[in-house]
Structure 1
């Protein structure tokens, strides 16, 4: 039996190289807003991750708590809006840490909106705002 309400599915795309506590925080907040969240491990032609998207997707799934049953992880190499259309996903979630992120994300959001998929921005928690995948990678790299 359903309550007649339309379920809202969201996608949270990123290269996630690596997946950080900030990313996990965005997923946690998104899963409380939307009925389902797909963490979409995507290819970004301007980035050169150490692992392929399938391996990064496996790593992300291993980090997420098992009881987050409304969250799935998928790998994808096309446009996020195409994934959304093919999988009946109504909204894109993006985390933003600062005004630089917001400017870049706003341009992507405008493009995705023109393709029929709106974007919701979730601001970073203050204690996580300085953390980026680049910073984490730098800390993990041997000197």
Structure 2
């Protein structure tokens, strides 16, 4: 894919985002510089029990993102990410990876999404953010 084609693309950055961490923020910041438009898609994942509904998490992310990031929007979505992509004209899924375990899991999802017609772009975590996860952030907030 040429640089010009990437710059004209619409991308999605899906996740549960419970909570939205500095690592997530960094991936959005980096993606918005590459793509014309990035939608942070707050997913409903039946395997997870988030602290609040997707609409509440989406509202919190909107509050956290700088107003001048005009090419970034936030939406909550129930269903497959590729269905969101098809419905909204997004050709790329952006995924952050922190380590080899993340990469392996994400690679399997990327292969399925590619078979369904949507490419995935992996964004490597910055070293200072690689140890951070939503699970770890929630654990720090929970009184022990």
| TM-score band, normalised by shorter chain | over 0.9
Please state how far the C-alpha of 1:44 moved relative to its aligned partner: 1.4
Q: Using the alignment, how far apart are the partners of 1:131 and 1:47 within structure 2?
A: 18
Runs of 4+ in 1 over 2 A off after TM superposition: 4-7
Please state how far the C-alpha of 1:142 moved relative to its aligned partner: 2.2
Aligned to 1:115: 116
SS of 1:33 mapped into structure 2: coil
Structure 2, unaligned runs of 5 or more = none
Counting only pairs closer than 5 Å after superposition, residues 99-110 of structure 1 correspond to structure 2 as: 99-110=100-111
Please state how far the C-alpha of 1:46 moved relative to its aligned partner: 1.6
Q: Using the alignment, how far apart are the partners of 2:131 and 2:45 within structure 1?
A: 22
Aligned to 2:57: 56
Q: Using the alignment, how far apart are the partners of 2:132 and 2:57 within structure 1?
A: 19
The normalised TM-score by structure 1 is 0.95
Aligned to 1:26: 27
Counting only pairs closer than 5 Å after superposition, residues 17-96 of structure 1 correspond to structure 2 as: 17-96=18-97
Structure 1, unaligned runs of 5 or more = none
The normalised TM-score by structure 2 is 0.94
Q: How many residues align?
A: 140
